[in-house]
Chains A and B, each alone.
Chain A
Amino acid sequence: MMASSYNAKEEDGHHSGSAGLGGAAIRSRKPDNTAFKQQRLPAWQPILTAGTVLPAFFVIGLIFIPIGIGLFVTSNNIKEFEIDYTGTDMSSPCFNCSQSFSWNSSTPCKCVLPFSLEQPFESNVFMYYGLSNFYQNHRRYVKSRDDSQLNGDERSLKEPSKECEPYRSSENKPIAPCGAIANSMFNDTLDLFYIDPNGTKTQIPLIKKGIAWWTDKHVKFRNPGNNPNLTTVFIDTAKPVNWRKPVYELDTDSENNGFINEDFIVWMRTAALPTFRKLYRIIQKKNNMTPTLPRGNYTLEVTYNYPVRSFEGRKRMILSTISWMGGKNPFLGIAYITVGSICFFLGVVLLFIHHKYGNRNNSSDIPN
């Protein structure tokens, strides 16, 4: 078809060429004939018809359903335990702590929550704290930080960014770390004890390193100066108003102190939604013989420092194992199964349509 039109053109040219001597001159004024300019670039011309889409739908269905089932099973195999320790109920052990909270109290309020695991938790167990109704994604909150201060910039340490207002300075000293995010850092302490069937209480070792992004800990967050003695580095700064201790006393380990304290780094990554959980500790597997957390009774000892009652928030402690796809997340599996089946179903419908109408179409293409 294309060829025929080209032929016609050549004939045209031939005629004009023989039209006279002027032909050559005229031809040179003719726009040069490239495929692009004539809009005749070679092209692939796909059309979405029932016929072409059919296989794609079946393929999607056939791939998605197994993936979905896989994801769903994996997600179901993940063991998760969640306990709310906010203490809104009278019956809750933390009720007293939640009621009598005051920023100024010097003695921390403690409460103990017993719980039991029905099933043993194999492999590494991750311990999270969860908060609800806490708007870490509020704009005023999200921007209230100074990244260059956290990156160890000395000038920003002395003079934090304006974004940190009203958590920028206290008592005429710059706050380090400044801003609302840092100021509201989660400061409950959670300890886990295993109660042997014979009644002895053993503390489960919680590992607090390796919970933040590697790049955050090593690149994005840095303590100011090269002085390993953080007390002198932060000498002219004030602690955030709601903190009980200054930043250089977050941990005794110098690799986990100051701005590079991992609890702090985790907190500084603001959550996307008002209900969120953040990694708190890791319980490492001891050996292959015994499960990390055998089934049985446990107690959770909470040092209750963090008030959430005022904004009707909730606090939870979550224990979870993980798989290759992360934590428990039935949504992805279900979504994959659903989409796979829809595609498969549509494929069947289209097959039917294609069979019934496709032939009719092709034969009736030629309008009469």
Chain B
Amino acid sequence: MALCTGEESWVDSRTVYIGHKEPPPGTEAYIPQRFPDNRVVSSKLIIDTPTSPMTSGLPLFFVITVTAIKQGYEDWIRHKADNAVNQCPVHIIQHGKVVRKQSRKLRVGDVVQVKENEVFPCDLILLSTSKEDGTCFVTTASLDGESSHKTYYAVQDTKAFSTAEEVDTLHATIECEQPQPDLYKFVGRINIYLDRDEPIARPLGSENLLLRGATLKNTEYIHAVAIYTGMETKMALNYQSKSQKRSAVEKSMNAYLIVYLCILISKALINTVLKYVWQADANRDEPWYNQKTEIERQRHVIIRAFTDFLAFMVLFNYIIPVSMYVTVEMQKFLGSYFILWDDDMFDEEIGERPLVNTSDLNEELGQVEYVFTDKTGTLTENNMELRECCVNGHVYVPDAICNGQVLPGAAGMDMIDSSPGVEGKEREELFFRALCLCHTVQVKEEETVDSIKRGIHQGKSTSFYISSSPDEDSHMEILNREDEMERFELLEVLNFDSVRRRMSVVVRSSSGEFFLFCKGADSSIFPRVVSGKVEQVRARVEHNAVEGLRTLCVAYKKLSQEEYEEMCHLLNSAKLALQDRDKKLAEAYDVIEKDFILLGATAVEDRLQDKAADTIESLHKAGIKVWVLTGDKMETAAATCYASKLFHRNTQILELTTKRTEEQSLHDVLFDLSRTVLRQQGSMTRDTFSGLSGDFQDYGLIIDGATLSAVLKPTQEGSSSGGNYKEIFLEICRNCSAVLCCRMAPLQKAQIVKMIKASKEHPITLAIGDGANDVSMILEAHVGIGIMGKEGRQAARNSDYAITKFKHLKKMLLVHGHYYYIRISELVQYFFYKNVCFIFPQFLYQFFCGFSQQPLYDTAYLTLYNISFTSLPILLYSLMEQHINMDILKRDPSLYRDIAKNSLLTWPTFIYWTFLGVFDAVVFFFGAFFLFDNTTFTSNGQLMATNTQMMFGNWTFGTLVFTVLVFTVTLKLALDTHYWTWINHFVIWGSLLFYVIFSLLWGGIIWPFLNYQRMYYVFMQMLSSGPAWLSIILLVIVSLLPDVVKKVLCRALWPTTTEKIQNADKLYKGHLSEFTPLSSLHAPPLRKHDRPGNDSQIHTHRRSESSPTKKLMCTYWGGKPDYCTFSSFLRLGDNPRFSGAAFAYGAPGPETSV
């Protein structure tokens, strides 16, 4: 190819194909080239930002980074945990061989082999086990916290496939429901194809389903098939359903934010409008000395106005405290460690610390108005002790406490009434036999019997004789009193459930007789009894219930062979049903369990927890309403309530129970009650509220589950009266200091919480419980607290906070909650305040710079104000502040009322803070303004080697305002700090020092990377001027003055309780301990080991007196009749002698109630 002239000098060439036609082949290869299309782009929509993008962007970037780091850290931890789970090896059977695979590669339908002590990798259907009978033992401790071993059954027709090769030959399909979160429900069917016949269909139930997360125990290996994997497993489904809770503070924070957003927009709007009004004169818009560029001139006025508006938004955007969210986040995150670290909440017995599952609700602990507590395990120890048993009307009392431990033989039983006749003897025998047989205890071979942790029924049974071992499953060996062995064959178990409230077993004795033993709550047994000494037993049961003992009735019936077979048929058909199996089973049970002969009853005591009464009393004094929600019967629950000081001697009890509603209509009862309550309310004066003292009658309400559902049930007619029930009920509840709801189903607990939550004051609710049945209410309440107790950890895992003892609730709410609330409310208000102080001068400056969006402060100051000059002091304040000593907070629960109802974040306080900010900003700005206006603001030139006076420019003006601002805002916080540790000193003075050093540095050098040097030596020049110093001091003092005066005046004239206590604390420093309540002087709570000595004494005492422990309590300030000496039981008047005695023998914990 010939080169044209000049072609060789081309640097880079382009080949253009004319008409986009490909060149003839043979020339150069066709390389399609991309040229830009013929569009010319020269317009740019530039928002002329008054501050550099970095200035606005950096704080945001900072915020995002910090949040991202926190979230990322948490996510990383989760990811690591996930990985560990996902990669752990599982054994899968493929082609008759055992293959190792990573857990995440598991597919539905894989046959998995799990060995002892391994965790199930997904939800499995049990096919076969190493045992011939096809059972295996599983502990679901990590799932629902129940550490007991549960038995699961392999499918009958597959249990023979016990080796890998055999399993591989299995040919079957499984039909089952889609994944559901309910852990205890499962319905399915397996079709097994044997020898190409019609498939054999077998039902599958939850007893065949091994859940992910559970652990295989006591079984060598199992084979099972995966049916739900990954996120479809029941565990994962349960995990997801946990919802996010938001605190009340967060809600007010967001409300404030909206107000500030409105302020921001209106500020920008006002300035934009004023700008265009002001600029109407061309000479103002564009004076000769300040011309616009051609592009600016050509822009349409609407676009200009819009960009101006946006520019103002950029300029004022700092009024929205973006960094507040980070600070709040950090405060919550770091602050929650104080709960973890708290020594007082550490449990020595089980060596557990409190758990903080979410830190978002810290401050909500200071706002609680309603506490819903479970009874068993929460208020009480859930440590069952047999008190007595009553057989056929004869009462037997053990002379030592069983505590779930086995007594050597039956020697522990002391016959009080030791003259049972022959017939009695027989009944007695049957009674104990029933107790021994009618339970589901499984004992591990290698463990001793007394290590079994049991629920009520089982715990008691074990305390007599025992034993069943997994090897001889259906046979129970019984050691009777003469140490003879008796063998019974267990035929059927009719499991316990909370609806029936009873369980039964069918056994065949060695003599071939069929027996059905049943035990359960009195209410579910008595109606089914046909003979036996019903009256005596019933009397005894009621007597025991009043004393707060849990009672259980035992009954039996003899079955003939035919009856048994009929029963078997009934049960089997129910069990095999694919649909409504539960319902059918319940029907079958109902048919079977009737026509009993009553044997007797047992009474078990559940001790109140250490300091439970004191805690409840404190909560009451703190203005918190305590509701006890329990499944127990009314009498038992009421007794516990008296013991735990929920009801006082002078509490007027209002009953809303089925018994009453049977007599009157619900409507009448409700109106009756509300009239009683409201009459009282009318006469109630204000001071009774503050003091909780004296003659003001407080009411306690008792309601049972059935009535409650009647109250809550919307009437069919939809008439007005129906809807009113709920309102009237709420009205009654509002006026009761304590409410006891008994006979509650788990779901009803959540319903109650929901109802209170939705009532018109929207109170903050707290639910506390320990068992799986409390989970629903824990999740429903604003704050859910789990107790890590005997009934496992399911409550603890679903809670927001978990503690070990009910008594820790006191410190949690009264101290931690109070502090967190005080801290965060100051944090929120202060953040808004300091940003108003920061931005309002900029707003004012616009009026003096022709609304040109000229920033008052330098870029560096704009950027760093929220990040470094003022952020640390408030963060540390919000971690360290203690306006009152924590001992006083604990001692004087009424202080909690001072912060109730979000009182530190009300609109008036918010407006006060905002106006304070505006006032300060006005002082800053106009202080500097008058200083600069029309005068020579000069610096003494001595320092600067020339003896001249110099003019200060706009940057000096801004720096002066900014200096005053930083000092004022920091000192304002210093004035609010009540607790100056070295950390506070360090951070507050350090921040100010940092500001000064930074400014010196920032102005001290010509920074090469900046394209402007406007701050060069500005700060130094300012500091070298006397008037600048004088005005900084003056302006700082003037800005702080009103707040100080307001605080001092309010404290002197209208002090709150908190302030009074603060004053007193200061005044009586060191002497205040004289006023300490007696409780803190008491001996520390009794430990187990030093009990035996006087145990029998106490208990004999109790028996003979049938009276509970006394509780001695003095008030903090002394002399309120209310809490002086006070018996938790109604009968104090009968035996004053006793209360003295109880006190005398060393007050083994005044809190130890019966």
Contact = CB atoms under 8 A, between A and B. Distances in A.
Residue of B932, B935, B952, B1026 ringed by the most chain A CB atoms within 10 A: B935
A9 interface: yes
Interface residues of B, number: 119
A44 B852 CA distance: 48
Interface string B817-855: 001000000000000000000000000000011101111
A26 B348 contact: yes
Nearest to B946: A210
Contacts of A342: 1041
Contacts of A161: 1011
A38 B1048 contact: no
Nearest to B936: A327
Interface residues of A, number: 122
Interface in B843-895: 848-850, 852-855, 880, 882, 885-887
B10 interface: no
Interface of A: 1-2, 4-5, 8-9, 11-12, 15-16, 18-20, 23, 25-27, 29-31, 33, 37-50, 53, 60, 64, 67, 71, 124, 126, 128, 134-148, 151, 161, 163, 165-167, 180, 183-184, 210-216, 219-220, 242, 266, 269-279, 282, 307, 310-312, 320, 322, 324-329, 331-332, 335-336, 339, 342-343, 346, 350, 353-354, 357-358, 361-362, 364-368
Contacts of A365: 1060-1061, 1063-1064, 1067
Contacts of B351: 25-26, 29-30
A213 B1027 contact: no
B291 interface: yes
A279 B949 CA distance: 8
Given A142-B854, A266-B951, A326 B1052 contact: no
- In order of increasing CB-CB distance, the 6 nearest A-B pairs are A327-B936, A326-B938, A184-B289, A272-B957, A37-B341, A365-B1064
A139 B1049 contact: no
Contact of A166 (B292, B958, B1034, B1060): B292
A5 B975 CA distance: 29
Contacts of A219: 1006, 1016
Nearest to A271: B953
Contacts of A151: 1006, 1013
A127 to B, nearest CB: 11
Given A47-B1063, A166-B294, A271-B954, A20 B1016 contact: no
Given A49-B1052, A212-B950, A272-B956, A137 B848 contact: yes
B292 A139 contact: no
Nearest to B290: A141
B501 interface: no
A366 B343 contact: no
Contacts of B1041: 339, 342-343, 346
Contacts of A326: 935-940, 949, 1025-1027
A312 B1084 CA distance: 86
A336 B691 CA distance: 47
A45 B690 CA distance: 27
B442 interface: no
A326 B941 CA distance: 10
Interface string B915-947: 000000000000101111111111110001111
Given A138-B849, A335-B1038, A353-B1052, 10 more contacts: A1-B1070, A5-B1080, A53-B1048, A137-B850, A273-B932, A273-B957, A329-B931, A332-B1034, A346-B1045, A365-B1064
A132 to B, nearest CB: 9
A135 to B, nearest CB: 5
Given A41-B982, A331-B930, A362 B1073 contact: no
Contacts of A30: 343, 346, 348, 351
Contacts of B1055: 361
Contacts of A180: 289-291
A322 B289 contact: no
Given A53-B1048, A311-B287, A329 B949 contact: no
A31 B344 CA distance: 11
A43 B1084 contact: no
Nearest to B815: A39
22 contacts: A2-B885, A4-B1073, A25-B351, A31-B340, A38-B341, A41-B880, A43-B882, A128-B936, A135-B849, A138-B852, A139-B50, A211-B950, A213-B950, A266-B951, A272-B958, A277-B936, A310-B287, A311-B283, A322-B936, A332-B1030, A335-B930, A357-B1053
B351 to A, nearest CB: 4
B983 interface: yes
Given A41-B982, A274-B850, A213 B1013 contact: no
Nearest to B1088: A19
Interface string B476-499: 000000000000000000000000
Contacts of A71: 1030
A34 to B, nearest CB: 8
Given A18-B1089, A19-B1088, A343-B1041, A33 B343 contact: yes
B1027 A325 contact: yes
B765 interface: no
Given A1-B1070, A47-B978, A272 B953 contact: yes
A327 B949 contact: yes
Interface string B332-373: 000001101111101011010100000000000000000000
B953 to A, nearest CB: 4
B1051 A362 contact: no
B299 interface: no
A279 B852 contact: no
Contacts of A272: 932, 952-954, 956-958
Nearest to A147: B1013
B1064 A278 contact: no
A166 B293 contact: yes
B951 A142 contact: no
Contacts of B1073: 1, 4
A335 B290 contact: no
A353 B648 CA distance: 42
Given A47-B1063, A180-B289, A357-B1052, A142 B885 contact: no
Contacts of A11: 1083-1084
Contact of A270 (B927, B953, B1038, B1060): B953
B980 interface: yes
A124 B946 CA distance: 13
B1026 A324 contact: yes
A32 B1076 CA distance: 28
B1017 interface: yes
B86 interface: no
Nearest to A48: B1047
A128 B948 CA distance: 13
A27 B353 CA distance: 12
B819 to A, nearest CB: 8
A274 B1048 contact: no
A322 B938 contact: yes
B898 to A, nearest CB: 13
Given A42-B981, A140-B290, A214-B944, A53 B956 contact: no
